[in-house]
Amino acid sequence: MNGITLDKTAQEFVNQVEELSHSNLSQCWHCLCCSGGCPFSKDMDVLPNSIIRMIQFGMKEQALNSSTIWLCVGCNTCSMECPNAVDMAAIMDALRQMAIRKNAKIAEPGVLAFHNAVVDSISRYGRTHKLEIMMRYKFSEKDLFSDIDLGLKMLSKRKLDLLPSKVKDKKSIQSLFKMSGEVS
Ligand code: SF4
Ligand code: SF4
């Protein structure tokens, strides 16, 4: 790929990312359109296109340990900007999945805690119960009180429901999660 000869492990990493993201990394010509359009690039430790470079060089650990993959919010701006239809947002998703599965060092554990709280809510109710998500997240961060004023204000304006609303067909939701391997 791009004149670089990778060893077997590095090539496997490239293949895995391509398979999970349905993207062809060799299509990237590092034009920086994705990084230039990313609203969060200034807070990331490496630019989004550099993540592709890392993968192309077989730098698995560095890519999976990067803050970039966790600060990406999946807004798809980069994927829309890419002239070669490289789906950067899907690549970030693939790397997050791989980081979790491989127990990699998570650069932004708070983001993962929030992600887990959202996924847990959807798996149980088929919907997000925002109050519970916030409570679970704050609990995992051992920071129950820093936003209490905001929480009470939202409750008083009925922006947060005390009880979760649930979809009727919860079994279908749970079977989707089982198929994806997110819950046992
Ligand atoms: S916009 Fe596409 S081709 Fe350009 S650097 Fe980003 S992923 Fe690569
Ligand atoms: S999907 Fe992620 S990497 Fe792409 S522009 Fe949005 S935040 Fe940036």
For residue range 94-128, list pLDDT tens digits in order.
999 999 999 999 999 999 999 899 999 999 999 99
Pair 21, 93: CB distance under 8 Å = yes
Specify whether 29 is located in the same domain as 92.
Answer: yes
Which protein residues touch ligand 2 with a CB less than 6 Å away? 37-38, 40, 48, 72-78, 88-89, 92
Average pLDDT, integer, range 53-77: 95
Has residue 2 been placed in a domain?
no
Same domain, 69 and 143: no
Q: How far is the CA of 38 from the centre of ligand 2 (A)?
A: 5
pLDDT > 90: what percent of the chain? 75
Tokens 């997110």 belong to 182
Structure tokens at 46: 């490496």
pLDDT in tens, 29-51: 999 999 999 999 999 999 999 99
Q: Residue 112's CB: how many other CB atoms inside 10 A?
A: 16
Do 73 and 138 fall within a single domain? no
Instruction: Indicate yes or no: pTM above 0.75.
Output: yes
Centre of ligand 2 from the C-alpha of residue 119, in Å: 20
pLDDT of residue 82: 96
As for how many domains the chain has, the answer is 2
Q: Which domain range does residue 18 map to?
A: 8-101
Q: Are 66 and 46 in contact (CB under 8 A)?
A: yes
Residues 17 and 76 in one domain: yes
pLDDT of amino acid 170: 87
Is residue 3 assigned to a domain? no
162 in the same domain as 91: no
Residues 90 and 136 in one domain: no
